[in-house]
């Protein structure tokens, strides 16, 4: 890259390098990374396209570009990621929340359409707090508990809930699924680990190398977390309470069977994500 290029020229150079590496969204990635290096909002790059890039910002942009070319996700580089209407901090102990998981939020909100409902919500394996925060934002009279096995993830979730103005309507605990909780929840949501041990080697590098294994892997069949959650749901849910769990590809039938074996009803097929994959399966305690 030339010294002191204009902002627009540097953005195009970065996008070309990212496209040449076969990355899926080179223009978007370049815009986000350069804006971060410049300390600007991404939309400001167009307005200031002819402005020269300061030398320190150009050096920072090159460093960020190298990290992206090495496979590090943009969200990890920036330290935050958009989800629903929120901007969430990431940490090494959390998954990077992805658009597929918004399907769980959509399914949960559809089950409780009354925006004024005073719901009690539990998010198992809360990670960044993404699902819990998104539902709480949309249901202002709800109270939610997030629970995670990783203390670092719990700290991150607390910070994200506070940033969203939800600290007064939430609590985040550390524990092994719902074992320490008494129950009485209207809604339980979860994006649990569901990758098989064997499939870990085949994951995309931006997942395999940067998302925590604890939040990805769930035994030889990918069902260990579902088994633990399904066994607890009859105790955690109040009568008529609902659960919505994210699914991995091809897991709908197996998870539905676990729900039914635990005495829960599965009222319909899983809600599909934007790619058409069955992604969010609901169950109800009779």
Write the DSSP assignment of 209-241 as a string of letters: TTS-GGGTB-SSSS-HHHHHHHHHHHHHEEEEE
Report the half-sphere exposure of 210 (CA within 13 A, side-chain side). Answer: 19
Compute the average pLDDT of residues 51-61. Answer: 95
Q: Is the pLDDT of residue 1 over 80?
A: no
Nearest to 11 by CA among 23, 36, 21: 36
pLDDT at 96: 94
Q: In what order do the strands lie in the sheet with 185-190?
A: 170-174, 143-148, 120-124, 185-190, 237-246, 278-284, 271-272
CATH topology of domain 84-284: Rossmann fold (3.40.50)
pLDDT at 3: 60
Q: Is the pLDDT of residue 117 over 80?
A: yes
pLDDT at 202: 85
pLDDT at 206: 82
Query: Tokens standing for 195?
Result: 């990758």
Give the contacts of 76 (CB within 8 A, at least 6 positions apart). 90, 96, 210
pLDDT at 178: 86
Find out whether 85 and 137 touch, Cβ atoms under 8 Å. yes
Find out whether 79 and 72 touch, Cβ atoms under 8 Å. no
Residue 93 and residue 152: Cα distance in Å, rounded?
6
Nearest to 194 by CA among 211, 231, 219: 219
CATH of domain 7-78: 1.10.8.10
Identify any residues that bridge with 189 across adjacent strands, giving them in sequence order: 123, 244
**146-187 pLDDT tens trace:** 999 999 999 999 999 999 999 999 999 999 888 889 899 999
pLDDT at 15: 97
Find out whether 146 and 170 touch, Cβ atoms under 8 Å. yes
Domain ranges of the chain: 7-78, 84-284
**89-112 pLDDT tens trace:** 999 999 999 999 999 999 999 999
Find out whether 87 and 161 touch, Cβ atoms under 8 Å. no
Compute the average pLDDT of residues 123-151. Answer: 97
Compute the average pLDDT of residues 257-278. Answer: 97
**182-239 pLDDT tens trace:** 899 999 999 999 999 988 888 888 888 889 988 899 999 999 999 999 999 999 999 9
Q: Is the pLDDT of residue 275 over 80?
A: yes
Share of the chain above pLDDT 70, in %: 99
- Kindly report the average pLDDT of the chain as a whole number: 95
Q: Is the pLDDT of residue 2 over 80?
A: no
DSSP character for 96?
A: -
């Amino acid at each position: 890259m030339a010294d002191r290029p204009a902002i627009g020229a540097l953005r195009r150079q970065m996008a070309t390098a990212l496209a040449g590496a076969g990355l899926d969204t080179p223009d978007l990635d370049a815009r986000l990374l350069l804006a971060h290096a410049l300390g600007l909002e991404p939309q400001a790059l167009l307005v200031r396209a002819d402005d020269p890039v300061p030398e320190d910002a150009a050096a920072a942009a090159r460093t960020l570009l190298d990290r992206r070319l090495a496979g590090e996700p943009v969200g990890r580089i920036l330290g935050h990621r958009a989800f629903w209407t929120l901007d969430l901090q990431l940490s090494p102990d959390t998954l990077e929340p992805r658009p597929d998981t918004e399907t769980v939020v959509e399914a949960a909100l559809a089950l409780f359409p009354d925006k004024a409902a005073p719901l009690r919500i539990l998010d198992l394996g809360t990670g960044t707090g993404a699902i819990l925060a998104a539902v709480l934002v949309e249901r202002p009279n709800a109270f939610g508990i997030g629970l995670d096995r990783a203390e670092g993830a719990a700290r991150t979730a607390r910070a994200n809930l506070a940033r969203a103005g939800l600290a007064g309507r939430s609590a985040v605990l550390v524990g092994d699924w719902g074992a320490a909780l008494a129950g009485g929840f209207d809604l339980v949501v979860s994006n649990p680990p569901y990758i098989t041990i064997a499939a870990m080697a085949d994951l995309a590098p931006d997942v395999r190398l940067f998302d925590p294994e604890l939040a990805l892997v769930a035994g030889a069949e990918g069902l260990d977390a579902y088994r633990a959650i399904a066994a607890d749901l009859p105790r955690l849910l109040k009568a008529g309470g609902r659960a919505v769990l994210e699914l991995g590809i091809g897991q709908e039938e197996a998870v539905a069977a676990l729900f039914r074996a635990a005495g829960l009803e599965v009222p319909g097929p899983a809600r599909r994500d934007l790619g058409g994959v069955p992604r969010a399966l609901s169950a109800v305690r009779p």
